[in-house]
Structure 1
Amino acid sequence: MTPVTPTTHRLPPIAAPASVHTEFLSASDAARLVARVGVVACLRQMVQALEADFARWNDFDKSARTAAHSAHGVIELMPVADAHDYAFKYVNGHPVNTQHGLPTVMAFGALADVATGAPRFVSELTLTTALRTAATSAMVARRLARPDSRCMALIGNGAQSEFQALAFLDLLGVRTLRLFDVDPAASAKLQRNLAPWLDQYGAEAVTVDSVQAAVQGADIVTTVTADKRNAVVLDARALAPGMHLNAVGGDCPGKTELAAEVLRRSSVFVEYEPQTRREGELQQMPADFAVTEFWRVLTGQAPGRVSPAQITLFDSVGFALEDYSALRTMQALGRQAGLLSAIELVPTLADPKDLFALLHPAAGVGRTVLHKVA
């Protein structure tokens, strides 16, 4: 028998080391970017991105976020991907952080290339999350609130309240804000920060001393409180025909804002049902309680508001697709403004099979590369 000579398949030699180019947007540069572009302009562009991405809902590989809960708060990881892009966000929620000089919510995230796994963009998402949450609220309310809605109650006047207020002032035509927070200093802070925009829109903000006073005459009610507990911020006595509820604060197991009767009397809309049933106001309700995923309203597959008297409720918990929309918006705006940096997040290897070569003295171990993208 003639011996068989094994066939060797050789890949063509690599002409030059391939490198991964990762763009980076820091917290300070994100603030500069939003200040330069304008917070309202950023909200508008984010809504456009959200609508485009929600309209192709079925293109995405979706899952509920993973969460690590403790007595102090929660830390979550939120992934989503389509055929081209992978995105994730790391985010926490620690209500007591403000007592230590830290934000309640801190976040960062990334976009990566599905074909290679290479990280293309890394960004702060603390400021960006507040923008995307407000943009999502406005996107949904434009299809669920009555078109003539002009008065909004804003219950919870903390870190996200300005963004919610501006989104509704600009994108829905709200002209009266009724503000309530258990901490009067929070409402005073919100009044100060909103003052220039109130003048611009010819709007008014009135601080009141109770939830009941806030919801009086309100067409839209936004709840965005921070306590990690099963609270009843709003009960059924607050409801009025035609009202739209934007429930933002109940966003993890054991954290709610609304009485169960509020849900029973409302038509409830959600982002991603499997996640909302575990984390949103829906955690109070039986598994067969009827809800509608918002993407179906956006694409015309399900009705939104069907009558002027209908009470609609958006049970908002925050979904990874929204962070994908926000990341690609901030990357595009950051490029246009020249505010992105380049970071060496992945090493460049002369031989991609020889990682150990990085430890040779000539490899320049310990280099840090950080420069602005031209």
Structure 2
Amino acid sequence: MSTTVLRTQDIARIVHATGLRPFLERLLATMEADFRRWPEFDKSPRSAAHSASGVIELMPIADATLYAFKYVNGHPLNHLRQLPTVMAFGVLAEVATGLPLLLSEMTLTTALRTAVASVMAARRLARPGSRTMALIGNGAQGEFQALAFHLLMGIDEIRLYDLDAEANAKLIRNLRACPALKLRACASTAEAVRGADIVTTATADKTLATIITPEMLEPGMHVNGVGGDCPGKTELHRGVLERAARVFVEYAPQTRIEGDIQQMPADFPVTELWRVLRGEAPGRSDEREITVFDSVGFALEDFSALRLLRDCALELGLGEPLALVPELDDPKNLFGQLSAEPLRPAKAPVTPRPSVQAA
């Protein structure tokens, strides 16, 4: 009854063994299939513990067969402590028994699934034939967004802007092995956005920012807002949302709390993306419409990623077993796990010495 454990290096091995493009394509197909099954899932907004420095969240979801959750944080200043701003792990379990099947890292996986979710929306909402994207905020998520849009949508030019010039340089260095993708560092958000078919914002600061303003919008533009993902954290001026022909979200009850639409009235109209994928609602209607995907990340995207990782691990023979659940000859005799080893009296507790204050 062991649980399979996947570490970060296992995820890297899966991607390398599969190939980046085929892996992204397979994740996209898995995610789209799950979104089309939207009514089959037990859904809820994620549970969040907010603090002045960030947020820690649990993201659960289940269908009739599998249950999944992700633990994830968001701490914008973690880079000052040499820590990632996002750290995550996830669990995939069997609904019929509650047995945990997979325990996986999800820091790297979250970056991959977020980029694929962006493409999943943009394929329906961006103008056909889009080739140019502005990428605002080029921290940990930047390369993943750039490659997903290049490999899955044919974006061949990306205009980069970040307050930290080194972030742009880092992204360009990391993607230098992709010569078909033209990367251009820009001096401002306005310069990067001008003439872009798609605008992706992926900033980390926990603040009510207005990175994209109405005067930056152009007919036919698709705005992919990735970084506004908790209360008090936005990237789009409310005028951007008001000018859009339609605003699309993953799960409205969660996005109204955490997304850019937290600025808007409670009855501000939005369309959940699953309805577009199922053909129940329109995406883009004409080439001059402005569309917005207010993406905060939803548990179903993690469910899809965990399902795919489990399949890939089985195919490639990756992962290590972990005795996370005790194996019992008599399931009612849990105490027997303790009595398997002699119980020794505890040592007397050591009373700590009082601290000595400096004179």
The code of the aligned residue for 1:278 comes to: I
Alignment of 1:27-46 (within 5 A): 27-46=8-27
* 1:196 Cα deviation from its structure 2 partner: 1.2
Equivalent residue, structure 2, for 1:255: 233
* 1:35 Cα deviation from its structure 2 partner: 2.7
The code of the aligned residue for 1:174 comes to: I
The alignment status of 1:354 with 2:333, answered yes or no, reads yes
> Which of 103, 107, 129 is the equivalent residue of 2:84?
103
CA distance in 1, matches of 2:335, 2:37: 43
The alignment status of 1:322 with 2:314, answered yes or no, reads no
Contact 2:38 2:274 in 1 (8 A): yes
CA distance in 2, matches of 1:301, 1:288: 20
* 1:45 Cα deviation from its structure 2 partner: 1.0
CA distance in 2, matches of 1:331, 1:168: 25
Contact 1:79 1:88 in 2 (8 A): yes
CA distance in 1, matches of 2:65, 2:14: 26
Deviating 4+ runs (over 6 angstroms): none
Equivalent residue, structure 1, for 2:348: none
* 1:83 Cα deviation from its structure 2 partner: 0.5
* 1:362 Cα deviation from its structure 2 partner: 5.3
Report % sequence identity: 60
* 1:303 Cα deviation from its structure 2 partner: 0.4
Contact 1:272 1:319 in 2 (8 A): yes
* 1:363 Cα deviation from its structure 2 partner: 9.2
The code of the aligned residue for 2:321 comes to: A
Contact 1:111 1:122 in 2 (8 A): yes
TM-score (norm 2): 0.94
Equivalent residue, structure 2, for 1:61: 42
Alignment of 1:111-260 (within 5 A): 111-197=92-178, 199=179, 202-260=180-238
CA distance in 2, matches of 1:203, 1:102: 29
Contact 2:21 2:152 in 1 (8 A): no
* 1:29 Cα deviation from its structure 2 partner: 1.7
Deviations 1:219-261 (A, max 9, x none): 0000000000101111011100000000000000000000000
SS at the partner of 1:232?
strand
* 1:36 Cα deviation from its structure 2 partner: 2.7
Over 3 Å counting, the alpha-carbon distance change for 1:168 and 1:244 in structure 2 is same
CA distance in 1, matches of 2:288, 2:135: 21
> Which of 286, 297, 313 is the equivalent residue of 2:276?
297
The code of the aligned residue for 1:55 comes to: R
The alignment status of 1:277 with 2:246, answered yes or no, reads no
The code of the aligned residue for 2:50 comes to: H
How many residue pairs get aligned? The number is 343
Contact 2:133 2:199 in 1 (8 A): yes
Contact 1:130 1:160 in 2 (8 A): yes
Equivalent residue, structure 1, for 2:288: 309
Which piece of structure 1 moves more, 83-92 or 34-43? 34-43
Structure 2 gaps of 5+ residues are: 344-359
The code of the aligned residue for 1:253 comes to: P
The alignment status of 1:26 with 2:7, answered yes or no, reads yes
Deviations 1:332-352 (A, max 9, x none): 112212211111000001111
Equivalent residue, structure 1, for 2:352: none
Name the Cα RMSD after superposition. 1.4
The code of the aligned residue for 1:126 comes to: T
Equivalent residue, structure 2, for 1:17: none
CA distance in 1, matches of 2:117, 2:194: 25
Deviations 1:184-207 (A, max 9, x none): 00000000111112x1xx231100
Contact 2:158 2:184 in 1 (8 A): yes
TM-score (norm 1): 0.90
CA distance in 1, matches of 2:136, 2:341: 60
CA distance in 2, matches of 1:320, 1:363: 44
CA distance in 2, matches of 1:209, 1:330: 39
Contact 1:357 1:363 in 2 (8 A): no
CA distance in 2, matches of 1:327, 1:193: 26
The code of the aligned residue for 1:144 comes to: L
Deviations 1:25-73 (A, max 9, x none): 0122222222332332221111001100000100000000000000110
